[in-house]
Chain A
Amino acid sequence: MGLKRKSTDLRKRMRDALKGGGDKAIERQKAIGKLTARERIVALLDPKSFHEYDLFVEHAAKDFDMNKKYLPGDGVITGTGLLSGNPVCIYAQDFTVAGGSLGWMHAKKITKIMDHALKLKVPIIGINDSGGARIQEGVNSLAGYGEIFFRNTLSSGVIPQISVILGPCAGGAVYSPALTDFVFVVDKISKMFITGPEVIKTVLGEEISMEALGGARVHCEITGNAHFYAESEMECFEQIKKLASFIPWNNSQKAKSFPKKSPKTRHYKIENIMPSDPKQPYDVRDVIRSISDDSDFLEVMELFAQNIVIGFARMNGNTVGFVANQPMVLAGVLDVDSSDKAARFIRYCDAFSIPLVTLVDLPGYLPGIDQEHAGVIRHGAKLLYAYSEATVPKITLIMRKAYGGGYIAMCSHHLRADFVFAWPMAEIAVMGPEGAANIIFRKEIMAAEDPEKLRKQKVQEYKDKFANPYVAAAYGYVDAVIEPEETRKMITHALEISGQKSINLPAKKHGVPPF
């Protein structure tokens, strides 16, 4: 065979493999608003930057007549490319080929590209669209999942891992996304669950749709498994690109710097955002926007545990991670979900050298039997652990209330914040004035002729004396009491001078966080 004929042969082989599951399967995929696996990669990555490998990998199944079947690429596409000009490793499961089911060689392709990503220190993006384990391959498909989970764990904190759920992701398969840093879902397309509606129906007799059980909204609002919610695949890809602009490519790099920009102060001005009554709420995201470059804030887990806000923004051109109590929802209390949400984000930022800016305004922990029984103690402890362990620059701003355990947990000096600022209206105290006065003056109030009058008087006395930032400032727990309009200036300065911060924690194999 001459070179020319060899080339023709190669092109034929490629054509066959590139057809995926064939026209009919592709039609079915499109009918429900889904792109094909290759289209997805092309849509996400920079034009013409994608290079595919392992196109000719074939499955290794022998039983159930599988040896007679040809599954192009074994149902998964792997390769490398550029995302906004930067290198990434990527894989996309191809639902048109045997339902994207995961067999041994399919998993081998994924683990191979994951190994590359870890070696090359570039992010790994996984597009999930799979019916689950390839049952015909038995224990080998389980082995495949296990090998993926293992690599997800090893890569954690070294390279960014992004999971995009664009189809079903069921059974054991869900644990790969769960181990990665960011999970993207799309309405009506993403479906994640351990046991599907059919099993639930047989075992429980309960009927539930896939969407209601494990659709995109469910995972964004209720379970907290997903971080970004989109209405369409294209919107989802835009979100990924946006996220990628904020994060470093591995744990030995810093996030890319951008030219610094002023906040859009015409829209976001602190004095217009803050209500005069300290018991009235406001949207803390507006405060974040009022001090961030170009007022550009990328919120993470926007729909889950909305009483705390987390996300990325830039200050003077550099990425910062914001953690902020949200007075607009549940008065910004800490609870099981918000502690979980913030703790994981703090660990992400710390792993990838992203400075943390914490905005504090909370009355304390959410009271309730359900919270206590749901383990608010051990979940709340995650937040303390994450902040204490974080060695990135930590800047804290106490805006209004910082009471009790909430004060400690929200990156106080005691957890080694580098700088703690407070606005003049900040109230830093062991608890709210009402609660404190009731305890300290209980006997006097009970003995009084008019207990209600005395209670009010005592609350006022307590407020006058302690509901301010100056008691904490007198002990050095607040470094500076600042005017709200100075906030951006103070924080950017604090971040700038913290650029070379270096701390060595006690040597250990690893800690034992309250997972």
Chain B
Amino acid sequence: MDKEKKKQRLSSIIVDGGKYMTTLSEKYKNRKPYEEDDPKKVKAFIPGIIAEIMTKPGKNVKEGDVLLILEAMKMRNNVVAPCDGKVSKVLVSLGQLVSKGILIVEME
């Protein structure tokens, strides 16, 4: 058992400037890097199905305009434009299943 432990490859972790030798947990290794929120990127806030698309690339929209309808948990949810601007990309198609957090519309 002791030999097994010694074989374990050690990594280091830095806390308050101190560097400590240790092993890393899977959860720690798999943690997601932070991404800053980009208001021009519209993401699915809930998993569901794209039930209706009311916009298309090149269309000018005002903040609050409904871009599409995301049906989830038996509700039709409006996905609205986060700001005034022009739609540059619609990345989903009608009837598509989307996971939470997936990019659906990009604006410029």
B3 at the interface (CB under 8 A from A): no
B54 at the interface (CB under 8 A from A): no
Across-interface contacts of B13 in A (CB, < 8 A): 330-331, 333
B28 to chain A, nearest CB (A): 6
Q: Chain A, 418-446, contact with B by CB distance < 8 Å: what is the 0/1 string?
A: 00000000000001111110100000000
B23 at the interface (CB under 8 A from A): yes
The size of the chain B interface, using a CB distance under 8 A, is 27
B23, B24, B72: residue with the most chain A Cβ atoms closer than 10 Å? B23
B10 at the interface (CB under 8 A from A): yes
Interface positions of B from 15 to 53, Cβ below 8 Å from A: 15-28, 31-32, 34, 47-48
Interface positions of A from 292 to 346, Cβ below 8 Å from B: 305-307, 327-333, 337
A329 CB contact (under 8 Å) in B16, B23, B32, B97: B23
- Please state if A370 and B32 are interface contacts (CB–CB under 8 Å): yes
B5 at the interface (CB under 8 A from A): yes
- Please state if B21 and A279 are interface contacts (CB–CB under 8 Å): yes
A393 to chain B, nearest CB (A): 31
- Please state if A363 and B25 are interface contacts (CB–CB under 8 Å): no
B93 at the interface (CB under 8 A from A): no
- Please state if B47 and A363 are interface contacts (CB–CB under 8 Å): no
- Please state if A363 and B18 are interface contacts (CB–CB under 8 Å): yes
B22 CB contact (under 8 Å) in A327, A367, A368, A370: A327
B78 at the interface (CB under 8 A from A): no
A305 to chain B, nearest CB (A): 8
Query: How far is it, in angstroms, between the C-alpha of A434 and the C-alpha of B21 when the chains are bound?
Result: 15
- Please state if B28 and A434 are interface contacts (CB–CB under 8 Å): no
- Please state if B25 and A369 are interface contacts (CB–CB under 8 Å): no
Interface of B is mostly: mixed
A279 CB contact (under 8 Å) in B20, B34, B97: B20
Query: How far is it, in angstroms, between the C-alpha of A205 and the C-alpha of B16 when the chains are bound?
Result: 43
Q: Chain A, 205-248, contact with B by CB distance < 8 Å: what is the 0/1 string?
A: 11000000000000001100000000000000000000000000
Interface positions of B from 79 to 107, Cβ below 8 Å from A: 97, 99
Query: How far is it, in angstroms, between the C-alpha of A514 and the C-alpha of B13 when the chains are bound?
Result: 28
Across-interface contacts of A366 in B (CB, < 8 A): 15, 28
- Please state if B15 and A281 are interface contacts (CB–CB under 8 Å): no
- Please state if B25 and A281 are interface contacts (CB–CB under 8 Å): no
- Please state if A206 and B31 are interface contacts (CB–CB under 8 Å): no
Across-interface contacts of A204 in B (CB, < 8 A): 47, 97, 99
- Please state if B17 and A435 are interface contacts (CB–CB under 8 Å): yes
A508 to chain B, nearest CB (A): 36
A360 to chain B, nearest CB (A): 15
Q: What 5 additional pairs, Cβ within 8 angstroms, besides A305-B25, A330-B25, A367-B14?
A: A329-B23, A332-B22, A363-B16, A432-B17, A435-B18
Can you list 27 pairs linking A and B with CB atoms under 8 Å apart?
Answer: A204-B99, A205-B97, A279-B19, A279-B21, A280-B21, A281-B20, A281-B23, A306-B25, A307-B25, A327-B20, A328-B23, A329-B25, A330-B13, A331-B13, A331-B15, A331-B20, A331-B21, A363-B15, A363-B16, A364-B15, A364-B16, A369-B34, A370-B34, A432-B18, A434-B17, A435-B16, A436-B16
